[in-house]
Structures are given as C-alpha cells and as structure tokens.
Structure 1
Amino acid sequence: FSTWNRSLLTDSGGFQVFSLTDLRKLTEEGVEFRSHINGDKKFLSPEISMEIQAALGSEIVMVFDECAPGKAGIDQTRKSLEMTARWAERSKNRFNELQETGMDSGFMSEASAVAGGANKLSGRQALFGIVQGAGHLELRRESLEKTVEIGFDGYAIGGLSVGEEKSVMYEVLEFLAPKMPQNAPRYLMGVGTPEDLVEAVTRGVDMFDCVLPTRNGRTGSAFTSVGKINIRNAKFAADSEPLDVNCSCSVCRRFSKAYIRHLYQAKEMLAAILISHHNLAFFLDTMKKVRQSIKLGNFGEFRRDFLNKISEGESEDKSTDV
C-alpha cells in the first residue's frame, strides 16, 4: 500500500485516544470514541489494536495503554497505570496468538524469502510494553515492575511531554532508566527537541519518536546546529546560506534560506516539505553522531559541545523581525 519496505514502528492508539478526552468513553474492555471528522462511533481494545498492528506488519508493536495527563494526581495516575498493566497482558496474549498463526503481514526481503521460503515470514514482530505513572516516581517504579513481570521485547516510557515541566521529565528518566532491563531497548515516546534527545541518552534512553521535525517544519521552524531558526524572519529575505551550513542534507546542498523563505511567504507547500525534510535529516544526523561518540568514548564531550553551540547560537539570534 505505502511501498515503505523499511523498518516500521506503530503506536497502539492509546495516545490518540488520550488526545480525544472530550469524545471518548473509557471502560475495562476498551475505549469507545467518536470520530473527530464525522462523529461516527469507533471502538478500540487491546485485541483490536494488536490485530491492526499485525495487519500493518510493523517491526515494533506497542501495547494498548492509557496515558494519564502530565499533572494528574496520584489516585488518577494509579488507576491509569493499573489499567495499562491489565491491557498490556491482554495485548501480549493476542499478540502471541497472531504471531503463532502467522497473521503478521510484515515486509519480507528477497534475502529472507530465499533463506526461509516464499511462504515464511521474515521474522517475528517485537512487542514493547509501556511504563506509565506521570511524574510520580513511586508509581513509575510500580508500573515498571508490573510491565517487566509480564515480559516484553522492549520497554517504552510513556506519559511524558504531555504538559509537565521539562525538569519533571528529566527527573523521571534519571529515576527510571537505571531500573529498566539492561538487555532490552528503552524507548522514550513523544520526545522531543534535539537537546531533549541528547539529554535523554545521557540518562540511559535508546529510542525516540516525535512530531516536532514535521510539525515545526509546517510552521517555518528549522532545527540547526546553532539552534532553532524561524524562516519567516525578515532577516533571511536575502540570505544565500543554507538552513544549516554544517548540514549535508539534500535541502541544505541545494536551497538557500532566502528561497525557502520566499516559498513560505508565497504559501507554497514546498516550503514546509523542504524544512521538514531538513529537520528529519538533522535529527537523524544528531543521533548518528550520538552513537559514534559513544563508540569512541567521548559522548560527554560531544554532549557539552552540542548543547553549548545551540545555546550560544540561540542567544545570538534574538531578533523577532518577521
């Protein structure tokens, strides 16, 4: 359908349901909600979520969870994480049934087809559990213990970057990451800026996802090695330099800030596409450099230089001329 023959991670729909607070009805069985498009009733359960993700054939599948608001109280958060644990068990049970019956429609490469036969799958999907608990550290510990007891291929930290202070997010990571299984990937969901990624790696996180590269791209905001820039700013009207002189992405090799600003001012869709493309390339390159620095044993030096350049660059660029 999409012709995307590379790695795919799918979310369960839990966060999307969280974002439809006024349109949903939550029960032990699952979530009934109304479409924000036409008002039609929909229903999503752990089992249905697993079936959808099996049909999509993603390499990494997320359990169906309930995400409490970032500033939720202890009682609400405990109720949410207990529901998430019960749903995680149901998710795993249905996931295993689907894997055993071969209902994963994932991509099979030519190499795997030759090795395993045309009718065999290229590999089992991986199922990740999700640790909830908002900013309450002891509830985070409780959620982690329940999730690890069920047993998953990887473990995600959910319920952050949903309205809490950034200091709370870092505190949760510092508390939680060292207690997570050492032999399984640690995935921080919905985070974040390039600085967040580097700081989270410092605290033991391996994987991330976030809408920022494309969301910011749509509004004319580009991430660079010297901080974030707003292409709408009038000072870029005659700037012949690329978005980031230190970036080798196809956008920075071909287009100037002035041209991209012109596209944006003319309301051309291409502006958002180009900035989004650059932002994604910048995020991927940042993580590549993180991995290289860890291998070389100089991650601490990389982190310091990376954060200092962004901080200094943004301090110098205080103009709001649009």
Structure 2
Amino acid sequence: MAMGIVFKAILQFLVYSLGIFVLVGAQGTKVGFYSSTCPKAESIVTSTVKTHFNADQTIAAGLLRLFFHDCFVQGCDASILITGPSAEKNSLTNLGLRGFEVVEDAKTQVEAACPGVVSCADILALASRDAVVLSKGPTWGVPTGRRDGLVSSSSDAANLPTPADSVTVQKQKFADKGLTTEDLVTLVGAHTIGQTDCQFFSYRLYNFTTTGNADPTISSSYLSQLQSLCPSGGDGSKRVALDKGSQLNFDDSFFKNVRDGNAVLESDQRLWGDASTKSVVQKYAGTIRGVLGLRFDLAFAKAMVKLSNVGVKTGSDGEIRKVCSAFN
C-alpha cells in the first residue's frame, strides 16, 4: 500500500512536470527564449520588481492582477498597457489596476541592454512570477517569446470576470480561454495577496436582500469586522485585504477563509456553494486529502504557465514595442 502511494505521488509529479512542457511547446513559447539574444533580460526584470516591491509590498498583487486582466482580453499581449482614450485600461472593469510603472521601468532597463528584443508582454509575464516569489510563493520557469499586440480597446474588456459573477458564469468565462474549473479556483487563489475597494462588496454587508440584510454566507464574526472596515455610507475607495489574516504572504489561507465564510468578494465565496468548485477549495484548504491532489503552490505555478499562453502572439505576429504604453 505504501509503495503504491509513493508510486502515485511520483506519477503525479511527472504528469505535472510533463504538463508544463507540453503547454510550453504547443504555444510557440519556451523557457529561456532570450538566452542568447538578451541573456540578462530576466534578471533585469527580477531586480526591477524587487526594487518596487521593497518600497511597497502590495505592488505584488497589483502586478498579478495586471497580468490576469491582460491575458483575459486579446490574450497575453500587453494590450492592457496601452495608454489612450479608448484603450483597454480605461474600461470600468480595469479601473484601479496597478503596476504599470513597474513594467515601464523594467522595459526601459531592458531596452538599454537589448534594444528592440524583449516584448512588454514577456516583461509583464516575468514580473507577475517575480511578484509571487517575493510574496513567499512558488517559482516557475516562465515561457517567453510573446510579441506585443496591435489592438487595445476598452470595449473588449466587457467580458472580464466580475465580483458578482455566479460560478456558472465564472466557469464559462474561464472555459472560453481554455481554462478548466480547477484552473479557475487555482488562479482565483491569487487573491491570497490581493486587495479590493469597499465599493465592490459593501452591498453584501448592508443591502444584499430586498429587506436590507447582509449576505448570509458571510460568517457573523467576520461580518462585523467588514462593517467596521467599510461603514455604511463611508469611503468606497478604502481598500481591504482579500485574504483575512495573511494579506502579504502567498499561501493557502485564502481557501480556508472561503471555507469558513470569510471571503470578501461574493464571487469568491460562491466557490464554496457549488459542488464542482467546492471540491477544489476543500483540497487546497486541507479539508479533505487525496493522493492525486496537487498542493496549491504547485498547482498555481502550473495554472500560471497555462494562463500565460492564452492567445499569445509569436513569430511575425504583433510587434516588439519600444515603450509599453504606446504602439510603435
């Protein structure tokens, strides 16, 4: 029996590792794409992210969210970085995104070392990995070789996931990107270092039903804490941690909070109310144990590689921007 368990664990690891290589090879990107053309690119990005992180640790969550929002619109092509009146970043869904200056800073330094070689899309992908690592999360080899997109439209951001989405809607939005239900729950785990504004969840605290009651899925003890942080009629822009008790550490406590009714966003708490997503939350929260269940940190690394290859542009598609905020 013990040998069987060990064999299954080894098999799981091999499947996990092979899965990453298959994903990389199938999309035209690969780890170490710039090893000969710009060998210092990744270290420059890492150093830049670290400098900004040391000044403000919450920038890690900002970079991770920026990458996610980029990949969900036009694919992972840095379309979110373009500045302009009708650009993607100006969509209501993208208001509050942070980390643009980190990517621009890294791009400036990479351009100085290797002009016209490294895409903004790759810099953002690398920066999101570095943000996780600096937050005490897992590391992974980032497949590179993306090119920057030539389209950035605010109207294209209409289908981004929102805090009010049902599980059914969330699953469909992820499936449209080739991501599974397990990928959905795993990637939402990025909220372990996230923050949100009171305005995006205060309705759960005071006016969730027609009679003005709070969302019954919020634990009573946490409800009073949230009401204290976000008083009725208060500052809607006040920011609140999405992971109660572990805001700056990339760990599995977010899933324990979802299990215990301590999720801030309605879309996060709903993951506990649907059988297909609840089973994944249970696995990461340690509620149930299974030999074939991946740990959250390993699963997140795998899901990020998969996400990073959504809609990528390679070869002669797109361009390599000179600055990340404008098309060439």
Q: Is the pair's TM-score, using the shorter chain for normalization, greater than 0.5? A: no
Structure with larger Rg: 1
Scaled by the length of structure 2, the TM-score of the pair is 0.30
Scaled by the length of structure 1, the TM-score of the pair is 0.30
Structure having greater relative contact order (Cα 8 Å, sep ≥ 6): 2
